Structure 1
Amino acid sequence: MAVANNLVKIIKEGQAQLQVPKTVFYNPIQEFNRDLSVLVLRTYLKHNIWHHKREERHVTSRGGMRILDALSASGLRAIRYAKELGEERSKVKGIVANDLSKAAVELIQQNIELNNLADFVTCKNADANQTMFESSASFDERFHVIDLDPFGTGAQFFDTAVRSIGEAGLLMVTCTDTAVLCGNASESCFARYGSMSMRGEFCHDAALRIILRSLEQHANVYGRYIKPLLSLSVDFYVRLFVQVFTQQAETKLSASKVSQVYLCKECKTHELQPLGTYEIKEDSTQASSENLAVKYKFKTPDVQVGDKCRICDGRFTIFGPIWNGPIHDVKFLELLKQELEISEPKNEFGTFRRIQGLIQLCIEELDVPLFLSATTMASILRMRLPRFKDFMSALVNAGYKVSISHTNQYGLKTNAPNTVVWDVFRQMAEQFRSQQDQSHPGSKKVKLQQTILMERIMSKPRERSYDFTYNAAIETESQKLSLLRFQMNPDKDWGPKSKPTTKT
């Protein structure tokens, strides 16, 4: 075969063996992505999270569900799924490894045979959208799990994926165009995802929410909606796991799950403006109804954001809209944690420690859109970054919850109003102002504009004084167990690698 002449080596990942030529895309840095995907899929099948009364009959009648690796390249994902599902493989009828490149499909077939999976994994040479669309013609042919792992954006596959996937199906999405999603080209982000992105400390959190909003919007067109199970921004890409359901009435809630973001140009504080809202109807009969269209009264919300920032009186810039709902399902994360612990003695995952730490970090992460950056706030107030246990204890002592973000170790997620968080920092700046000003490197060279901003914020009166006494409630399990939470770059010159060079 033509591909065989280009083979460079056989690699092993998980339980799969793989022939890897130069011309077909393979990135070893994404082993974490693939390990996690195997764990998620296994958990999804084992705990019957796929189970839905509308779909059970079709899944049972066709002898199990179908899985699609839509952009398979080398076939690695499909092969790992086939070999590492364990007992849950009995719930799967088969896996399709699809790719548009003829050379890639030829290689996939070789790898399928190398792993003795010809009776379970089939390859297809077609456009991913075409493969998904054709499967939607029959309930028995629908894919119940679709994995989208493109080079760059996956936006061009969203519409067909959410339309064609089976009820309560698992959609796994990777996007590597994080530069666009994080504000380097907001106009390109809008063209792809329907949202304006923006630079800032929370840009990776926002990137996840931009994609979730886009998936929800595409699903709504077909009377469907999404439920995020796990959403991660790691390394150079984002990886999201969502379920897709059908219920026309539920789509009426979608506007309330989306917000426009107002970001202060000066102090970088954000405010959210929901695009929709709803309330339970006063009529007791209607209020107890399971029909959402009957139970709720939907309306457009009042404007909640003023014309200037409450922290520094600065002007706002607008971006979004973004998803403002949960990006993780904590119950599902607990199941993932259990399954990971079961796998530990078998040494199944090469990235076990990282998966363990990240899952626990996501469990601890508060369900709060975006975050305030401790480094940005300290810089604006011309103070050294305070100890996290001090300002986190102050917030907890005041009756609020606080956590860090899995996307940024200096990101403060809290249910406290922004004014309260800034009050805590102002009090710390007041208490330690003299010594911090003296030891701040280059503090005398701070620009006049920055000095004015600092003085404007410091001049605002605090609502109250805060207690910085250490509170043990801020200690998390990931800290107590010294889990790997934020990994350094895994290799020299790591990243998304170059596009495959094979002609289709």
Structure 2
Amino acid sequence: MSFDFPFKIIKEGAATLAVPDLEAFKKAPWEYAPSKAPVFYNPVMRLNRDIAILAIRTFQRMIKREISVAEPLAGCGVRGIRFAVEIDGVRHVYLNDINPVAHEMAAYNVETNGLSERVSLANEDANLFMNRYAAPRKRFDCIDIDPFGSPVRFLDSAIRALRDGGLLALTATDMAPLCGVHPKAALRKYGGLPLRTEYCHEIAVRLLIGALVMAAAKHEIGVKVLFSHKSDHYIRVYAQLFHGAKKADVSVSKMGYILHCFNCFNRQIFPGIALSLNEKCGECGFPFKAAGPLWLGRLADKDFCEQMEKEAVLNRERLNGQIGKILSLIKEESTAPATYFVIDKICDKLGLPSPPLEKVMKELAKEGFKVWPTHFNSRGIRTDAPAKIVVESIRRLT
């Protein structure tokens, strides 16, 4: 089969795929080629897809039965086809894209990989597609929503189309609003305010989870976060959804605010949806700035991370080499306190040279505090030490 635009055949994981030849659509070096092509395909998201395969395989083994997976925004079908080819426990994959050219290319890729009996194709609006599967006996075990931009407009449909105990995977690429560059846009979309802090990417993840929690609560559904990460230009969340008003209440109880002092690096967790607007830093008296309401619970489940690590070892020949390190860091920090300190940010404000990260960690540990590295920032640390102790430790090392 041929298409009326430049394309090429690639191998990703265990799948053979026709994809747009992105170089043919770039008119200038700085242009974002995936958005120029008639079918969306982004090779940079290979890491995202690799981790998705690990997460869904881990989930399938955790629930110990075959599963159905839906991808409402399938593009050329690379993600869903890899699910069908590389995850033994996937019974059926449902691919959908509103773009008829994408639908045609996905159909070709399904046939090329010999998946016609295990992969179904649809060509309609993503919300309409998911709503067709909202009846209890038709729901999916897993839904993977990987949009260009924000996934929030798909949340209600996805929640309705996911069975009790199912896995919902979400990608958000609208990092400017989520990281505080456009706070009004973040408030409109995610129902919470971001902050332009050194840990803005963590706030972004917590805002996305918070939006999911509040959307699910309307349907009396609770959320358990299994895994999340920030990579490249996007954030990603994997959450298991459980039906029941009490479970929804438990999830909502983990909402709240992160208060940040831009003067002395102090930060405070404020649980609950209501917040006094006159909060001041207890260390220096400077007015706090608030991010939220957002998710204050865990960003990953340690046991789930460990199982993902095992899957990564078994399948390392097909996966991105970064995955092992990412999983290890996320597992380590999964039980750590919210927010992290970036050593360089503190040193810039204090006018000090930046000491090695390892020395700062050892200094805090020597003082009796727990310290963790973070995958969010290679120069960041999580710790149960107060901000002033972190600052004092850095001063002693410089």
Q: Verify same fold: TM over 0.5.
A: yes
1:209 to 206, 209, 234: 206
1:135 and 1:164 in contact (8 A); partners too: yes
1:396 to 354, 360, 365: 365
Superposed counterparts of 1:476-487, under 5 Å: none
- Within 2, Cα distance between the matches of 1:128 and 1:225? 23
- Once the two structures are superposed, residues 43-64 of structure 1 have per-residue CA deviations (whole angstroms, 9 ceiling, x without a partner) of 2112326x7xxxxxxxxxxxx5
Larger deviation, residues 212-221 vs 410-419? 410-419
Superposition deviation, residue 410 in structure 1: 1.9
2:336 and 2:372 in contact (8 A); partners too: no
Determine helix, strand or coil for the equivalent of 2:291.
strand
Superposition deviation, residue 423 in structure 1: 3.5
Determine helix, strand or coil for the equivalent of 2:337.
coil
Determine helix, strand or coil for the equivalent of 1:364.
helix
1:314 to 253, 277, 286: 286
The corresponding residue for 2:108 is: 110
1:257 and 1:324 in contact (8 A); partners too: yes
- Within 2, Cα distance between the matches of 1:205 and 1:403? 15
2:110 and 2:116 in contact (8 A); partners too: yes
**TM score, norm. by length of structure 1:** 0.72
The corresponding residue for 2:15 is: 16
The corresponding residue for 1:182 is: 179
Q: Gaps (5+ residues) in structure 2?
A: 21-36
- Within 2, Cα distance between the matches of 1:191 and 1:333? 32
Determine helix, strand or coil for the equivalent of 2:202.
helix
Superposition deviation, residue 393 in structure 1: 1.9
The corresponding residue for 2:230 is: 233
Superposition deviation, residue 390 in structure 1: 2.8
Superposed counterparts of 1:234-253, under 5 Å: 234-253=231-250
Determine helix, strand or coil for the equivalent of 1:18.
strand
Determine helix, strand or coil for the equivalent of 1:226.
strand
- Within 2, Cα distance between the matches of 1:343 and 1:18? 20
- Within 2, Cα distance between the matches of 1:83 and 1:390? 45
The corresponding residue for 1:362 is: 330
Query: Partner amino acid for 2:145?
Result: L
- Within 1, Cα distance between the matches of 2:38 and 2:371? 47
- Within 2, Cα distance between the matches of 1:194 and 1:260? 12
1:199 aligns with 2:196: yes
- Within 2, Cα distance between the matches of 1:340 and 1:425? 36
1:380 aligns with 2:377: no
1:172 aligns with 2:169: yes
- Within 2, Cα distance between the matches of 1:387 and 1:418? 18
1:255 and 1:274 in contact (8 A); partners too: no
Superposition deviation, residue 7 in structure 1: 4.0
- Within 2, Cα distance between the matches of 1:362 and 1:318? 25
Superposition deviation, residue 306 in structure 1: 7.6
- Within 2, Cα distance between the matches of 1:252 and 1:322? 15
Larger deviation, residues 153-162 vs 375-384? 375-384
Superposition deviation, residue 171 in structure 1: 0.7
The corresponding residue for 2:388 is: 419
1:202 and 1:370 in contact (8 A); partners too: yes
2:258 and 2:290 in contact (8 A); partners too: yes
- Within 1, Cα distance between the matches of 2:255 and 2:344? 28
Percentage of matched positions with identical amino acids? 32
Determine helix, strand or coil for the equivalent of 1:5.
coil
1:35 aligns with 2:50: yes
Query: Partner amino acid for 2:56?
Result: L
1:225 and 1:251 in contact (8 A); partners too: yes
Change (3 A) 1:394 1:274: same
Give 1 or 2 for the bigger CA radius of gyration: 1
How big is the alpha-carbon RMSD for the aligned residues of Structure 1 and Structure 2? 2.0
- Within 2, Cα distance between the matches of 1:198 and 1:307? 16
How many residues were matched structurally? 381
Larger deviation, residues 101-110 vs 328-337? 101-110
Superposition deviation, residue 128 in structure 1: 1.1
1:182 and 1:206 in contact (8 A); partners too: yes
- Within 1, Cα distance between the matches of 2:157 and 2:74? 17
Compare relative contact order (CA 8 Å, sep 6+) and give the higher one, 1 or 2.
1
- Within 2, Cα distance between the matches of 1:381 and 1:6? 55
Determine helix, strand or coil for the equivalent of 2:264.
coil
1:409 aligns with 2:378: yes
- Within 2, Cα distance between the matches of 1:375 and 1:12? 40
1:65 and 1:144 in contact (8 A); partners too: yes
Superposition deviation, residue 233 in structure 1: 0.6
Larger deviation, residues 112-121 vs 6-15? 6-15
- Within 2, Cα distance between the matches of 1:80 and 1:181? 29
1:182 and 1:199 in contact (8 A); partners too: yes
1:269 and 1:372 in contact (8 A); partners too: no
Q: Gaps (5+ residues) in structure 1?
A: 52-63, 277-299, 433-504
2:75 and 2:103 in contact (8 A); partners too: yes
The corresponding residue for 1:99 is: 97
